[in-house]
């Protein structure tokens, strides 16, 4: 796969969309095929080909890459910016999700951080609630070299049933602050754009469920609490 134009004159978004991916490693700990590579002029990326997705009993086959892109789009529209730049595109092993690689702080204790009260964690908790994240592990929290928090691995999200599973329960039942409520309000202020952007990645009933979750959260004004009918923490939690 080549690109048209000089990489030095292309934006990061254009490069991520169409730049040639040179795959160098596979992340063997991942449950689905997860490849590390590089795009000239852009930098390091993660590439998850759809062909390498493991079938799941509760999610339609071949939809995880779309859900990762949907999570990125929601993060951007709501102004959360907690997901690295993510696209759905062709790659060396077929279509898949391609995402900017985040260089993490090697000295950060992410488990200790993830159990704290940082404002970034509150926004990540809100984000997971609206996208119905079923797999927020400590290892899916990325604290970069500047102390900025990102999340990764959003393939099992947007289910129509409430399936929130996360390690971030320290805010359960707490009132949301003004900034967090304003973030929820953007869901409805940008409803047309969200529906349009998600329509090519999610089923219509999954989009409706997204808005229903957002409405419930806005009406309660509280962070969600664990459900007593299914496991609320992913396993393993790391």
The reported pLDDT for the residue numbered 123 is 98
Which structural domain range is residue 78 located in?
A: 7-220
Low-confidence residues in the chain, pLDDT < 50: 1-3
From CA 154, how far away is CA 45, in angstroms rounded?
A: 16
From CA 109, how far away is CA 185, in angstroms rounded?
A: 33
CATH for 77: 1.10.510
The reported pLDDT for the residue numbered 228 is 82
Instruction: Please tell me the total count of domains within the chain.
Output: 1
The reported pLDDT for the residue numbered 10 is 81
Domain-embedded: residue 152: yes
Domain-embedded: residue 48: yes
* pLDDT tens digits, 97-128: 999 999 999 999 999 999 999 999 999 999 99
Domain-embedded: residue 234: no
Domain-embedded: residue 238: no
3-state secondary structure 28-83: CCCCCCCEEEEECCCEEEEEEEHHHCCCCCCCCCCCHHHHHHHHHHHHHHCCCCCC
Domain-embedded: residue 14: yes
């Amino acid at each position: 796969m080549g690109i048209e134009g000089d990489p030095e004159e292309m934006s990061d978004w254009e490069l991520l969309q169409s730049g040639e991916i040179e795959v160098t490693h596979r992340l063997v700990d991942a449950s689905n095929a997860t490849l590390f590579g590089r795009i000239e002029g852009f930098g390091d990326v993660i590439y998850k080909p759809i062909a390498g997705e493991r079938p799941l009993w509760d999610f339609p086959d071949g939809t995880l890459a779309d859900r990762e892109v949907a999570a990125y789009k929601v993060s951007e529209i709501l102004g959360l910016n907690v997901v690295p730049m993510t696209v759905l595109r062709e790659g060396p092993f077929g279509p898949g999700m391609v995402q900017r690689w985040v260089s993490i702080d090697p000295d950060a204790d992410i488990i200790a951080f993830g159990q704290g009260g940082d404002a970034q964690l509150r926004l990540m908790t809100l984000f997971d609630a609206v996208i119905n994240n079923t797999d927020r592990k400590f290892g899916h929290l990325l604290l970069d070299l500047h102390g900025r928090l990102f999340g990764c691995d959003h393939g099992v999200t947007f289910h129509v049933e409430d399936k929130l599973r996360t390690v971030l329960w320290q805010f359960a039942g707490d009132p949301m602050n003004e900034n967090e409520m304003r973030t929820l309000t953007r869901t409805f202020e940008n409803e047309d754009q969200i529906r349009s952007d998600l329509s090519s990645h999610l089923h219509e009933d999954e989009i409706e469920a997204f808005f229903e979750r957002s409405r419930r959260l806005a009406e309660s004004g509280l962070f969600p609490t664990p459900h007593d009918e299914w496991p609320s923490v992913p396993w393993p939690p790391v």
